[in-house]
Structure 1
Amino acid sequence: MTQDGEILRFDAERGFGFIATADGQRNIFFHVRDFRSDALPRVGERVRFERIDVGGKGPRAMAVQPLAGARQSGVNAPGRATPAQRPADRPARSQPSRNASAPSRRDSGSNDHRRAHEPQGLDGQPVLFVVALLVWIGLLATLTWRGAWPVSAVAVLGGLALLNAATFMAYAFDKSAAEQGRWRTAESTLHSLALLGGWPAAWLAQRALRHKSRKQPFLSIYVATIVLHLGALAALLWRAS
């Protein structure tokens, strides 16, 4: 069902928001990937969308597209007429300078959109990730060759493989929960998984799922977990020397 509404809230970091309509519905969920514009959604922006009802999860807006020229609609001010409703009693004035600058604004909006989705941290520095990964593999191989593990090497390496699989699944679950408005995975849990050795899968999940790849405080702690994990392995190797 096609409806018009106004963006009530939008979380740029998580990539989702809510739309309100003039008939009083104020929590229609939408995701940024369903927003058909080069620019990011803005609070107060008028939009048209296809409403679907997901069983047990409430309404959701798909194919969300801005309504040009319609800002501050009747959702906040029911008695105010929209531009389409005002009488056309005055001739349209020529505005060549505005029209001439429109491509520039579109280009600027497109650039802002691309910058907002550019990866940061190790996700945007694959060379640093490769270096960290090679150091990690080297430490694991050396510890295994010297028999320096406190338990069986098979158990340690197998546990790391399972831990990385669990880490990727945790990111995927959190991404799905963010899109559907469900209970999220605590960031402390994601950091704990990375610290224990799941940081390679965390990097892969950030890159493949486009999740937690732009939140700078989270990425700073994530990098710290990598440094601490590698430091712990180096300390274990030093004690065995």
Structure 2
Amino acid sequence: MRMKGEIASWNDEKGYGFISPMRGGDRVFAHIKAFVNRGRRPAVGDAVTFSMSTDARGRHCAKEAIIAGVPKTEKSKRSSALPNVLAAGFLLIVVSAVSVSAIPMQILLLYLVVSTAAFGAYALDKSAAKRGAWRTSESTLHLLALVGGWPGALIAQSRLRHKSRKQPFRAVFWATVVMNCAAFVWLFTPEGAKAWQSVVSLVINCAEFIWLLIPEAAKAWQFVVSMIA
């Protein structure tokens, strides 16, 4: 039997909340997966209809929940695929640029590595949110996006349904995407290419310096120098 109610509380980070039945009684647990129409996320005060069910522990919960006024359309499916298309399209542009030697291979590797790290950071943050553990700071997520991890972050937001609706996080995120894309275009200019080589040289020098701080590495370097001399 279908019941009517109103969303009394909703935790969008964890993807669940509670519905207050119109006929009264105890509040009913509702998970995001219980909603049939996902044109938008549920919010406190939304009128809903739902069926009663029980979970694996025998507790009452809602199923086949429908938010009033939100139609069941294919729009949400198309919009959920858009982030994947944007991320894949950008990476394809990077691959094409590398293939014609317009930019160095290191840039493609940077995007792939940092995007993987960004996806992992989002996954860890969502897991921590569910467990109530220590969260990954939003500034860290934005920094990863800024330095080239935004394709992975975009895919994570879509696939994991994490940080995909929250404002102003989204506004800052898209600002980092614009800045990174602007920097990417700048790399095609002589000044940008020169700046990139300077960054690569700096990273290599720092890595060598840190490596030489290790006693075993310092001894090995001294041995190589003595052999050359």
TM-score bin, normalised by smaller chain: 0.5 to 0.7
Letter of the structure 2 residue corresponding to residue 214 of structure 1: R
SS of 2:102's equivalent in the other structure is helix
Aligned residues: 178
Q: Determine the structure 2 residue equivalent to 1:64.
A: 62
**Per-residue deviation, 1:124:** 3.6
**Per-residue deviation, 1:183:** 3.2
- Is 1:18–1:30's contact at 8 Å kept on the other side of the alignment? yes
Identify which of 157, 163, 173 aligns with 1:222: 173
Are 1:31 and 2:31 matched, yes or no? yes
Q: Determine the structure 2 residue equivalent to 1:10.
A: 10
Are 1:172 and 2:132 matched, yes or no? no
Gaps of 5+ in 1: 1-5, 54-60, 68-105, 146-152
In structure 2, relative to structure 1, the CA distance for the partners of 1:116 and 1:178 (3 Å cut) is farther
Work out the CA distance in 1 between the residues paired with 2:185 and 2:43.
47
Larger fraction in helix: 2
What's the CA shift string for 1:161-189, capped at 9, x where partnerless? Answer: 33222111111122223334433322221
In structure 2, relative to structure 1, the CA distance for the partners of 1:119 and 1:190 (3 Å cut) is farther
Alignment of 1:177-192 (within 5 A): 177-192=128-143
Give the fraction of aligned pairs with identical amino acids, expressed as a percent.
Answer: 35
How high is the TM-score relative to the length of structure 2?
0.53
Q: Determine the structure 2 residue equivalent to 1:136.
A: 94
**Per-residue deviation, 1:192:** 0.9
SS of 1:10's equivalent in the other structure is strand
Work out the CA distance in 1 between the residues paired with 2:137 and 2:36.
31
What's the CA shift string for 1:41-64, capped at 9, x where partnerless? Answer: 7569999675778xxxxxxx6743
**Per-residue deviation, 1:157:** 4.7
Q: Determine the structure 1 residue equivalent to 2:214.
A: none
Are 1:235 and 2:186 matched, yes or no? yes
Gaps of 5+ in 2: 1-5, 21-25, 195-229
Are 1:198 and 2:149 matched, yes or no? yes
Greater relative CO, 1 or 2 (CA 8 Å, sep 6+): 1
What's the CA shift string for 1:77-134, capped at 9, x where partnerless? Answer: xxxxxxxxxxxxxxxxxxxxxxxxxxxxx684552898788847xx646665555334
**Superposed CA RMSD:** 4.7
How high is the TM-score relative to the length of structure 1?
0.51
